[in-house]
Amino acid sequence: MTGWILRAEGLTKGFTLHLQGGTRIPVLRDAALTVEPGECVALSGPSGAGKSTLMRLLQGNYGADAGSILLRRPDGGVSDLATAPPREVNALRRDTIGHVSQFLRVIPRVPALEVVAAPLIARGMAREEALDRARALLRRLNLPDRLHGLPPATFSGGEQQRVNLARGFIAPFPLMLLDEPTASLDAANREVVIALIGEAKARGAGLVGIFHDLDVRDRVAHRVVEVAPLREAA
Amino acid sequence: MSDDPILSARGLSLSFGAVRALDGVSLDLWPGEVLAIVGESGSGKSTLLRVMAGEARPDAGAVTYRDTLGASMEVHGMGEPALRRLARTEWGFVRQDAREGLRMGVSAGGNVGERLMATGARHYGSIREEAARWLERVEISPSRIDDRPGTFSGGMRQRLQIARTLVTRPRLVFMDEPTGGLDVSVQARLLDLIRGLVSDLGIAVALVTHDIAAARLLAHRLVVMREGRIVEEGLTDRVLDDPRHPYTQLLVSSVLAA
Amino acid sequence: MSTPMPESGYNFAYLDEGTKRMIRRALLKAVAVPGHQVPFGSREMPLPYGWGTGGIQVTAAVIGPEDTLKVIDQGADDTTNAVSIRRFFARVAPGLRTTERTAEATVIQTRHRIPETPLSEGQVMVYQVPQPEPLYKLEPRRAETRRLHALADYGLMQVKLYEDIARQGRVGSSYDHPVMVGGRYLMAPSPIPAFDNPKMHMSPALQLFGAGRERRLYAVPPYTEVRSLDFEDHPFEPLRANGHCALCGARDTYLDEMITDDRGGRLFVCSDTDHCATRREEKAA
């Protein structure tokens, strides 16, 4: 068997707000998720149910209180993101986990083209080749050439979103995390994203996404996993 | 990515009278990694930096540096000649006050060229060319090469200090509040410059800052200090987005949209 | 010992034997570590600081009644400073011969010049040094300059040369131009013109340096490498005035400029009076 790309089990996550008298907010308890190669899994559930928290756990942005997040790396080895030391998490983000959020964290003064090419350069690709590929992908996402050399800080929401998508899809990550990838896109660009997701699946990547656009969700997702609010589930 | 840290601190303690500036601090820094040390004034972060760089001696504990050849050496036991040699070859130090990090009576070109000359460069033309290249790289017009830093703005002085430090391509650079005391717009430019240079050159950086946004932009890892101790450490975005310790939560919540 | 006692009641060559031993010990150390500044207990001398008290103590410590002493100031044997030092030794060192001839001298005390006549084995040069520390203007802290010497950390000196070239197009020091001795110590050659620096390199003579006020001695043993600091593409140049001596016609000696009238008239003459006189005698013969 080819085996999973992602296997998360027993994931528990809550927050203790020390500034508010130590209030404890439980969000996930004993959550599990497995993603096979070529599979796209959509997370659903009401707002505040923990979809975003789960996505952040899978990206390593939040630390799990309990449980494991096993990832199969491109070299065939397995890492547990839940317990990996920071340097290993950074390595996983470079080689294993691709991520498209709805918010681009803008780095001052860095042009869009460089933002998109960065993951390739980080993997050791020659700069010129990386920039060429970045240019091609931005064109495919219909971002005009005149914007490629500008920092995205001044871009519209849709333009920023396309830079973000290009940065996420530029490298062949085994696992792709998509947080509202088609928000603020027009119909034509939505189709491009659907095609990109299809290509990622075809090369054997596993994808986990939150899709508010149910039409898009139904076209790309193999299955839908419900994330239930903890209070109701408990 | 190497598996051995370039610098390791173990059990560092240092008191100034009744004040425990460092209280059992241990940390590792790996080659090519940017580690931010954050905390409020008096948390011990600058003292920690000076102890790591061999500029202050701890009451207890050890700092180990692993050199280019992989040999381990005890920073506080190697003796002054070896430490000074390191400080002008494999290490660098960028100070908050550029006047401490620069020679104010020497031209910009001489400031950048000093480390080259200290490591044996004896061709005036090449030294000058390299200095001009570095001025350009830190966005100072090469036409200012013969001007003294006294005629430069605060941001330019700091960029000059960075050029002066990085010109010999050190493996490890200590930075103490490099953006402190600068206007916000000037800070952003400087941070971006540091970010680019550090990643291009693959330098390990120990960065002391109270600027959370700077830490987020530059650092792979973050250490939060309070009263001479490390209260929280980890991946930069995880510590800032999912802080566990009450003090870290306070620190993060005090920052506007970091 | 057949050393004749001076009639005046002074010890031979003024200094008591204990002081001489102390200075000789310091000199031995200085010779053993070429270019390294050795502290010594400088004594009060019967002339003010700045008049060569360091050089006189060194001379007094090494000279014997069988020696022949030459004293020059700016190359000349007949200036006030040279004459008074020569007279001083004639008074306190009975038996000592004095000369103006470089070739005849066994000990040559000098301020600001090295004779044009090449030195030979067995000769001792004694330099009067106002400031022994070559890094003095760059790093005023004495403890720090000592540390820089100990670590051979001389980048700072090179920075100064860099600044000279950047500002003036050439290395700026026309005298007291710093040298590296034996590839190890940075040394002030005393305020001799840069023109004289090459004469120090591999000299057959023993070269001793005394700074009275600063209480430092240093030395360059015979046949020691002495390199003037420079850059590969701005090599050290031993500068001299572009002219010839009005008296002997020499074109290869260090020249002093003389103003001859108040209408801008001027001429050059050899700074080394003995060398110039010898050349004129040879011509006349």
What pLDDT, on the 0 to 100 scale, is given for residue C7? 53
Average pLDDT, integer, range B248-253: 91
Taking a C-beta distance cutoff of 8 angstroms, is the pair A8, A68 a contact? Answer: yes
Taking a C-beta distance cutoff of 8 angstroms, is the pair A91, A145 a contact? Answer: no
Active site residue C248: yes
Count Cβ atoms within 10 A of the Cβ of residue B61 and give its class: 0-12 exposed, 13-18 middle, 19 or more buried.
middle
Give which of A139, A161, A171, A5 is closest to A72, Cα–Cα.
A5
Taking a C-beta distance cutoff of 8 angstroms, is the pair B128, B180 a contact? Answer: no
Out of C35, C54, C55, C210, the active site residue is: C35
User: Which chain B residues contact residue A16 at CB under 8 A?
Assistant: 244
Sign of CA dihedral C56, C57, C59, C63: positive
Angstrom CA distances, A72 to A34, B120, C212, stand at: 12, 49, 78
| For chain A, the helix, strand and coil percentages under 3-state DSSP, each to the nearest 5 | 40, 25, 35
For residue range B8-35, list pLDDT tens digits in order.
999 999 999 989 999 999 999 999 999 9
DSSP helix/strand/coil, A8: strand
Q: How far apart are CA A146 and CA C44, in angstroms?
A: 82
Kindly list the domain boundaries of chain C, sorted by start residue: 17-228, 240-285
Look up the ipTM and state it. 0.91
Q: How far apart are CA C116 and CA B243, in angstroms?
A: 79
The ranges of chain A with pLDDT < 70 are: 1-2, 103-106, 231-234
What pLDDT, on the 0 to 100 scale, is given for residue A1? 45
Tokens of C48: 């003010």
Give which of C58, C181, C61, C67 is closest to C109, Cα–Cα.
C58
Give which of B29, B2, B41, B74 is closest to B180, Cα–Cα.
B41
What pLDDT, on the 0 to 100 scale, is given for residue C5? 54
Query: Subunits touching A (CB < 8 Å, at least 3 pairs)?
Result: B
B127 interface with C at CB cutoff 8 Å: yes
Q: Is residue B84 part of a domain?
A: yes
User: Which chain C residues contact residue B110 at CB under 8 A?
Assistant: 159, 162-163, 166
Interface residue of C171, C231, C234 to substitute, partner B, most B CBs within 10 Å: C231
CA A90 to chain centre: 14
Q: Is residue B1 part of a domain?
A: no
Q: Is residue B195 part of a domain?
A: yes
Chain B 33-92, residues with CB within 8 Å of chain A CB atoms:
33
Give which of C248, C249, C267, C246 is closest to C258, Cα–Cα.
C267
B78, pLDDT greater than 90: yes
Is B114's CB within 8 Å of C163's CB?
A: no
Is B238's CB within 8 Å of A60's CB?
A: yes
Tell me phi and psi for residue C272, to 5 degrees.
-85, 100
Number of domains in chain B: 1
Q: How far apart are CA B108 and CA B130, in angstroms?
A: 12
Angstrom CA distances, B170 to B115, B164, B167, stand at: 10, 11, 8
Tell me phi and psi for residue B229, to 5 degrees.
-125, 155
Q: How far apart are CA B116 and CA B125, in angstroms?
A: 12
Is B188's CB within 8 Å of A86's CB?
A: no
Q: How far apart are CA C285 and CA C277, in angstroms?
A: 12
User: Which chain A residues contact residue B242 at CB under 8 A?
Assistant: 15, 56, 61-63
End-to-end CA distance of chain C: 44
Angle at alpha carbon of residue A143, lines to A141 and A147, rounded to 5°? 155
B201 interface with A at CB cutoff 8 Å: no
A219 residue type, one letter: R
Neighbours of C139 (CB within 10 A): 15
The shortest C-alpha distance from B104 to chain C (Å) reads 12
Active site residue C245: yes
Per-residue pLDDT 10s for chain C (285 aa) are 455 555 555 688 889 999 999 999 999 999 999 999 999 998 888 887 778 899 999 999 999 999 999 999 998 888 888 999 999 998 888 889 999 999 999 999 999 999 999 999 999 999 999 999 999 888 889 999 999 999 888 988 999 999 999 998 887 678 899 999 999 999 999 999 999 999 999 999 999 999 999 999 999 999 999 999 999 999 998 888 888 999 999 999 999 998 888 888 889 999 999 999 999 999 887
Active site residue C210: no
Tell me phi and psi for residue A87, to 5 degrees.
-65, -35
Tokens of A178: 């998509």
DSSP state of A229: -
Full-model pTM: 0.87
Q: How far apart are CA B89 and CA B245, in angstroms?
A: 38
For residue range C179-194, list pLDDT tens digits in order.
999 999 999 999 999 9
Sheet holding B172-176, edge to edge: B91-94, B172-176, B204-209, B34-38, B221-226, B229-235
DSSP helix/strand/coil, B177: coil
Sheet holding C226-228, edge to edge: C185-187, C179-181, C226-228
Is A90's CB within 8 Å of B241's CB?
A: no
The domain containing residue B139 runs over which residues? 7-257
Taking a C-beta distance cutoff of 8 angstroms, is the pair B222, B51 a contact? Answer: no
Is C231's CB within 8 Å of B145's CB?
A: no
Angstrom CA distances, A20 to A53, B73, B244, B246, stand at: 20, 47, 13, 10
CATH code of the domain containing B215: 3.40.50.300
Out of B1, B188, B241, the one facing A108 most closely (by C-beta) is B188
Angle at alpha carbon of residue C16, lines to C12 and C19, rounded to 5°? 125
Is B220's CB within 8 Å of A90's CB?
A: yes
Record: fold of C17-228: Rossmann fold (3.40.50)
Q: How many CB pairs under 8 A join A and B?
A: 52
Q: How far apart are CA B235 and CA B241, in angstroms?
A: 10
Going by their DSSP bridges, the two strands B204-209 and B34-38 should be labelled as parallel
Q: At what angle do helices A157-169 and A112-122 cross, to 10 degrees?
A: 20
DSSP helix/strand/coil, B17: coil
B1, pLDDT greater than 60: no
Structure-derived torsion over alpha carbons of residues B119, B123, B125, B128, reported in degrees to the nearest 10: 10
DSSP helix/strand/coil, A102: coil
What pLDDT, on the 0 to 100 scale, is given for residue A165? 95
DSSP state of B176: E
What pLDDT, on the 0 to 100 scale, is given for residue A234? 38
DSSP state of B181: T
User: Which chain C residues contact residue B83 at CB under 8 A?
Assistant: none
Question: Percent of chain B beyond pLDDT 90?
Answer: 76
User: Which chain B residues contact residue A61 at CB under 8 A?
Assistant: 237-238, 241-242
Taking a C-beta distance cutoff of 8 angstroms, is the pair C112, C191 a contact? Answer: yes
Taking a C-beta distance cutoff of 8 angstroms, is the pair B48, B25 a contact? Answer: yes
**H or E, element range at A66:** strand A66-72
Interface residue of B103, B123, B124 to substitute, partner C, most C CBs within 10 Å: B124
User: Which chain A residues contact residue B234 at CB under 8 A?
Assistant: 63, 86
Q: In sequence order, which residues have a C-beta less than 8 Å from that of residue C178 and are 6 or more positions away?
A: C134, C157, C186, C187, C188, C189, C228, C229
- Give chain C as a DSSP string: --PPPPTTSPBTTBS-HHHHHHHHHHHHHHHHSTT--EE--PPP-SS-TTSSHHHHHHHHHH--TT-EEEEEETTBSSSHHHHHHHHHHHHHSTT-EE-S-GGG-SEEEEES---SSPP-TT-EEEEE-S---TTTTT---HHHHHHHHHTT--HHHHHHHHHHHHHHSS---SBS--EEETTTEEE---S-BGGGHHHHTT-SSEEEEEETTTTEEEEE-TT--EEE--BTTB-------SS--TTT--SSS-EEEEE-STTS-EEEEES-HHHHHHHHHHHH-
Q: Which residues partner with C126 through β-bridges?
A: C109, C208
Is B217's CB within 8 Å of A107's CB?
A: yes
DSSP helix/strand/coil, A124: coil
The shortest C-alpha distance from C160 to chain B (Å) reads 8
> Please, do chains A and B touch (3+ CB pairs < 8 Å)?
yes
B122 interface with C at CB cutoff 8 Å: yes
Sign of CA dihedral C159, C164, C169, C171: negative
